[in-house]
Amino acid sequence: MPHHQPGTDVPALATHGLGLRIGGAQILHDVTLEVAPGEMIGVIGPNGAGKTTLFNLVSGVLRPTTGTVRIDGRDVTGDPVARRARAGLGRTFQTSSVFPRLDVLENVRLAAQMHLGRSLSVLAFPHRRDAATRRAVEHLAEVGLEHRLGVAAGDLSHGDKRKLEIAVLLATDPSVILLDEPMAGVSSSDVPGLSEVIRRLHRSGRTVLMVEHHMDVVLGLVDRVAVMHHGELLAYDTPEAVMSDPTVQSAYLGDVA
């Protein structure tokens, strides 16, 4: 379902002056970032740069010590994870979050059923299971797993597990999606297929932010790149501009060389 609203000036996601201090350590400092509806952003940076912390602050796992988070213009800084999810924010984690003994269809159907449970009236209750199954099959087709419905999630390859996690996420109908290292642990032969699934998420008009270490994947997929370094946003621009930025080259590429 397209979520892109052409002509709107309100960012799908915006952080302003976001900071996190724990004890004496400034983990994140003054991160201001606007993501337009339908845009796809790659978040890169060396280990410990603050990428996961940024995702935790945006999704509500952590509360910032300074600054704000807005989803579609609404200030969600004080909202817990569940309320942000209802506001349209969906997130995958670095580690797999599917139920390994349940089959592929059941994993997505459960998520769809929970989501529909909130949006359908009590009168529609008997139809909820059917509606959830239909929804689940659609989302599984979107990630290319429609031929694996009866397979136990635990028996899938890492790449297919990641696709399943994305389908579970889609069942909650998010407008802004955070993908935390989607390629982590995925075999190189599965990378192109998973990249294609992520590209399709973007093409469907959803807003996507992705933390990813595979630079070739990031640069080939995203509209803009946010470069984190020592807890700060060092650069935020197109892949071409970021890669030719001398500050980025010395700070980021220098660190990982």
Ligand X SMILES: Nc1ncnc2c1ncn2[C@@H]1O[C@H](COP(=O)(O)OP(=O)(O)OP(=O)(O)O)[C@@H](O)[C@H]1O
Site of interaction with ligand X (CB under 6 A): 22, 25, 27, 45, 47-53, 228
The identity of residue 203, as a single letter, is R
CB atoms within 10 A of CB 118: 8
Q: How far apart are CB 214 and ligand X at their closest, in Å?
A: 12
**Pick 52 or 113: Cβ nearer ligand X:** 52
**Pick 29 or 199: Cβ nearer ligand X:** 29
**Pick 48 or 205: Cβ nearer ligand X:** 48
CA-to-CA distance for 132 and 119, rounded, in angstroms?
12
Q: How far apart are CB 46 and ligand X at their closest, in Å?
A: 7
Q: How far apart are CB 52 and ligand X at their closest, in Å?
A: 3
Residue 18 β-bridge partners: 31
CA-to-CA distance for 246 and 230, rounded, in angstroms?
17
Q: If we measure between CA atoms, which residue out of 226, 255, 243 comes closest to residue 58?
A: 226
**Pick 10 or 215: Cβ nearer ligand X:** 215
Q: How far apart are CB 210 and ligand X at their closest, in Å?
A: 13
Three-class secondary structure of residue 43 per DSSP: strand
Q: If we measure between CA atoms, which residue out of 194, 256, 205, 208 comes closest to residue 90?
A: 208
Q: How far apart are CB 16 and ligand X at their closest, in Å?
A: 19
Residue 28 β-bridge partners: 20
Phi-psi region of 191 (alpha: psi -120 to 50; beta: other; left: phi over 0): alpha
